[in-house]
Structure 1
Amino acid sequence: MFRTLDDRVSVFGQITPDDVAAAKAQGFTAIVNNRPDNEQPGQPAGAEIEAAARAHGLDYVAIPVDHSGFGDAQVAAMAEALDGADGPLLAFCRSGTRSTFLWALARARAGADGDELIARAAAAGYDIGAIRAAL
């Protein structure tokens, strides 16, 4: 169900509070929400996902990214979340694309090879070639 980017990070589209139990069962220790509340009618509120995460003993971080794009603060927050996770981390947004972009930008900032990041994203079904220059 979740798409693996590397040995510690997976991404997915919008999750529900019920999906948090599946994430816990698969060994995730943290959830990163990259979706702003009220982006689309009917999406669960971040507070609902956070409550489910905490109830299952998972860390939770909200780093919302709207359609205006990413800023340095969001990339830095994602890098901090990735570095601070005690185990595998699941990041989500509407489709997983914004989460994948943030993962790649954060990893590139830490020195990861851009072409390798693009290849890993592609293997998970995400085309991040549009940010090649930033990687």
Structure 2
Amino acid sequence: MDIRKIDDTLSVAPQIAYADVAEAARLGFRTLVANRPDKEEFGQPAMADIEAAARENGMTWVYMPVESGNISDADVDRFGTMIQDSDKPVLAFCRSGTRCTVLWALNAVRTAPASEVLSKANNAGYDISGLAPRMAQQAEKQ
């Protein structure tokens, strides 16, 4: 499992397996978020199985699928509210971790400088600099 810490409240990961959930719980994650639609790709683990593992390991499960390359402002709003209201730390996953990072970044720039948000994403291994125009737009929603 390739966990990448964004900040003290959120880490992201590429697709996780059923067996990874117990390890995530052992590492202290309290909420597990799936930003990947079920059956997005042939052979991906069933979300119902990962949900069951999360519940078996005492984690809160949040299924918040977002279509890759099609993140709406409503998706960003929902993600921000979920992070705010969830037991922390949160582990969010999708196919590569990028979608989760984009959701976080577009919400984070509403309260933090874009340079700080880009730096945190970059430190986690995600170059989201191409989102700068959309981040500027979201920053206006402070």
Compute the TM-score of the two structures, normalised by the length of structure 1. Answer: 0.94
1:33 equivalenced with 2:34 (yes/no): yes
1:88 counterpart = 2:89 = yes
Runs of 4+ with deviation above 6 angstroms:
none
Q: Which runs of structure 2 are paired with 1:10-49 in the superposition (5 Å)?
A: 10-49=11-50
Task: Kindly report the root-mean-square deviation, in angstroms, between the aligned alpha carbons of the 2 structures.
Answer: 1.1
User: Displacement of 1:67 after TM fit?
Assistant: 2.8
Aligned identity (percent) is: 46
Q: Is the 8 A contact 2:68 2:99 kept in 1?
A: no
Alpha-carbon displacement from aligned partner over 1:17-37 (angstroms, at most 9, x marks no partner): 111111101110001101011
How far apart are 1:68 and its partner, in Å?
Answer: 4.2
Cα distance in 1, alignment partners of residues 74 and 61 from structure 2? 18
2:98 partner amino acid: T
Displacement of 1:73 in angstroms is 1.9
1:53 corresponding residue in structure 2: 54
Q: Deviations over 1:112-131 (max 9, x none)?
A: 21111101110110011111
The question of 1:98 aligning with 2:120 is answered no
Post-superposition shift, 1:134?
2.2
1:41 alignment partner AA: F
Which runs of 5 or more structure 1 residues have no equivalent in the other structure? none
Structure label with greater radius of gyration = 2
